[in-house]
Amino acid sequence: MSESIKINFAKLPAAPEGIVILLAGEGVTLGPSAEALLAPAGDLLTRAAAAERFEGKAGSALDLVAPAGLKASRLIVAGVGKPGEMKPFDWLKLGGAVMGRLPASAREAAVVLELPSATVSPEAAAEFALGLRLRAYSFDRYKTKKKPEDQTAKPKVTLYISDDSAAKRAWRKKEGIGEGVTIARDLVNEPANVLTPPEFARRAEALEKVGVDVEVLGEKELRKLGMRALLGVGQGSAQESRVVVMRWDGAKSDAAPVAFIGKGVVFDTGGISIKQAAGMEDMKGDMAGAACVVGLMHALASRKAKVNAVGLIGIVENMPDGNAQRPGDIVTSMSGQTIEIINTDAEGRLVLGDVLWYAKERFKPQFMVDLATLTGAIMVALGTENAGLFSNDDTLSVRLTESGLATGEKVWRMPLSPDYDKLIDSRFADMKNTGGRFGGSITAAQFLQRFVGEVPWAHLDIAGTGMSSPASEFNRSWGSGWGVRLLDRLVADHYES
């Protein structure tokens, strides 16, 4: 895992030096210790705020270098808007924004976590710290010559807060979520010459350290299970395919697990139906769904979530080759249903069909949620702000939608209905693997639904959110780690005993 910033907690009042960060509400209002800290500087803040038209609005900040009268080398006043209205997600964004304001040279920084009119809860402090961590992430292991401007600050940050021990406890729980997002980002950013399917499986095995039971199925076992749809996708690759099963048994009872399934195409050339050259390099991220599942399992285990959870990922490489699958081929999936391959680039659904079926048969889960960079069409429909949500269950859909709003990892429900089935009827087999240009994300989801039976299920199409999505306050990484916070939240709010 990439090296990250150090975060400490200390009790207010603070007399910090170096880089000092204060929070200001609308109207440039401060808490009492921030006021006291600024007292030796006289009317500095008032004058600077007026000159910069800083009003304490959320997202704005005032940056003063070598402020006269103070020991601080730099004073950053971050606006929070209306302090009473701050939600956890606002604290995450604030932490990210503050991290983004620190100069690259910063070694230490002190944040006074205090508001004019409201106390900062331990949960808020932990979200703030998570925002710092996520913003500080960088994937630079292949940069052998680092220019100063490429260097992201990895300073030691002290958070001053009235109840520092409660804040520290809250952070201990949250830290694992940050690690989970980091694991997911690292996997997505890693190129496919390094992250082959066997290497991906080895990295998943590292979860044993946090108490996750990890089982790796190789091609021989997959053949025995009958996962011929999945194996067909990988058969043109010099690398063997894998399915990894991760289990976290955190509930007291042996209650049915919740199940998370991820698409792990380590590289998608399209296969014989090869993609165009422009932008193909992005297809190293076609395993963002699987990366999220690994990151999520790490998060659940490291915060000792009281839930039984299983994560299953199908890991393959989609390559053109003398041995590759052809358009027109017919494969028999593990479910027994046959599939005519029309386009070898519609490979994700073939992988997921087998893994969803296997998850359902083996674990009889309470629900299944799959994540996949499945279709370009979902970006046409929803852009990069929402993932596509397809589900056979209204309760699960509402819960996912709410968790999305709470974490900022938003989902938007799209339709499923038997009316679309005719688009994937095949002349020769039970179904074909593409449904044409219209409603491309829907027919893909409709295909997946044929492998979930009666289990409550939701499919998240994350082609627009898992990679190459716009930068945010707390994410500058190409691979975003999208979904770890969303699904951790879903579990925490509804499925822990």
Q: Could you tell me which of 367, 362, 338, 363 has the C-alpha nearest to residue 350?
A: 338
The token pair that represents 315 in the structure block: 């890991």
Q: Could you tell me which of 486, 489, 497, 485 has the C-alpha nearest to residue 250?
A: 497
**Site for ligand BES (CB under 6 A): which residue of 90, 164, 268, 317?**
268
Q: Choosing from 82, 173, 275, 413, which is the catalytic residue? A: 275
Does 345 engage in binding with ligand BES (CB under 6 A)? yes
Does 434 engage in binding with ligand BES (CB under 6 A)? yes
**Site for Mn ion (CB under 5 A): which residue of 175, 345, 370, 488?**
345
**Closest separation in Å from C-beta 348 to ligand BES:** 5
Does 343 engage in binding with ligand BES (CB under 6 A)? yes
**Closest separation in Å from C-beta 17 to Zn ion:** 52
**Closest separation in Å from C-beta 396 to Zn ion:** 25
Q: How far apart are CA 119 and CA 496, in angstroms?
A: 28
**Closest separation in Å from C-beta 270 to Mn ion:** 5
Binding mask 293-332 for Mn ion (x = CB under 5 A): ----------------------------------------
284: CB partners within 8 A, 6+ apart:
188, 190, 191, 192, 195, 266, 267
Cα 285 to Cα 188, 279, 281, 372, 468: the distances in Å are: 5, 12, 9, 10, 9
Does 286 engage in binding with Zn ion (CB under 5 A)? yes
State the binding partner of 434 from ligand BES, Mn ion, Zn ion, none, CB within 5 to 8 A by kind: ligand BES
Q: Give the interface segment with Zn ion, choosing from 209-217, 347-355, 396-404, 439-447 (CB under 5 A).
A: 347-355
Give the number of other Cβ atoms within 10 Å of residue 423's Cβ: 18
Binding mask 283-322 for ligand BES (x = CB under 6 A): ---x------------------------------------
The token pair that represents 222 in the structure block: 């997959």
Element housing 7 (H / E):
strand 6-11
Q: Among this protein's residues, is 57 annotated catalytic?
A: no
Instruction: Kindly tell me which of 343 and 366 has the beta carbon lying closer to Mn ion.
Output: 343
**Site for ligand BES (CB under 6 A): which residue of 158, 335, 375, 475?**
375
Signed CA dihedral, 186, 188, 190, 193: sign only: positive
Give the number of other Cβ atoms within 10 Å of residue 369's Cβ: 25
**Site for Mn ion (CB under 5 A): which residue of 179, 186, 268, 340?**
268
| Residues between 211 and 230 with contacts to Zn ion, criterion CB under 5 A | none
Q: Among this protein's residues, is 133 annotated catalytic?
A: no
Instruction: Sort strands 338-340 and 330-332 into parallel, antiparallel or unpaired.
Output: antiparallel
Instruction: Kindly tell me which of 16 and 348 has the beta carbon lying closer to Zn ion.
Output: 348
Instruction: Kindly tell me which of 49 and 265 has the beta carbon lying closer to ligand BES.
Output: 265
Q: Choosing from 349, 410, 476, 485, which is the catalytic residue? A: 349
Q: How far apart are CA 391 and CA 416, in angstroms?
A: 7
**Site for ligand BES (CB under 6 A): which residue of 347, 370, 473, 488?**
347
Q: In what order do the strands lie in the sheet with 308-318?
A: 213-217, 242-249, 308-318, 258-268, 367-372, 457-461, 387-391, 411-413
State the binding partner of 376 from ligand BES, Zn ion, Mn ion, none, CB within 5 to 8 A by kind: ligand BES
Residues in a beta bridge with 10: 160
Q: Give the interface segment with Zn ion, choosing from 31-39, 235-243, 303-311, 343-351 (CB under 5 A).
A: 343-351
331: CB partners within 8 A, 6+ apart:
228, 229, 232, 325, 338, 339, 341, 350
Residues in the chain: 497
255: CB partners within 8 A, 6+ apart:
308, 366, 497
Does 268 engage in binding with Zn ion (CB under 5 A)? yes
- Ranges of beta strands (E only) in 319-428 are 330-332, 338-340, 367-372, 387-391, 411-413
Residues in a beta bridge with 310: 247, 259
Does 317 engage in binding with Zn ion (CB under 5 A)? no
Q: Give the interface segment with Mn ion, choosing from 7-15, 25-33, 262-270, 362-370 (CB under 5 A).
A: 262-270
Q: Could you tell me which of 62, 122, 135 has the C-alpha nearest to residue 96?
A: 135
Does 461 engage in binding with ligand BES (CB under 6 A)? no
**Site for ligand BES (CB under 6 A): which residue of 346, 369, 424, 448?**
346
**Closest separation in Å from C-beta 458 to Mn ion:** 21
Does 373 engage in binding with ligand BES (CB under 6 A)? yes
Of all residues in the chain, what percent are helix, strand and coil, respectively (each to 5)? 40, 20, 40
Instruction: Kindly tell me which of 345 and 473 has the beta carbon lying closer to Mn ion.
Output: 345
Active site positions, annotated: 275, 349
| Residues lying near Zn ion in the complex (CB under 5 A) | 265, 268, 286, 348
| Residues lying near ligand BES in the complex (CB under 6 A) | 268, 286, 343, 345-348, 373, 375-377, 434, 440, 463
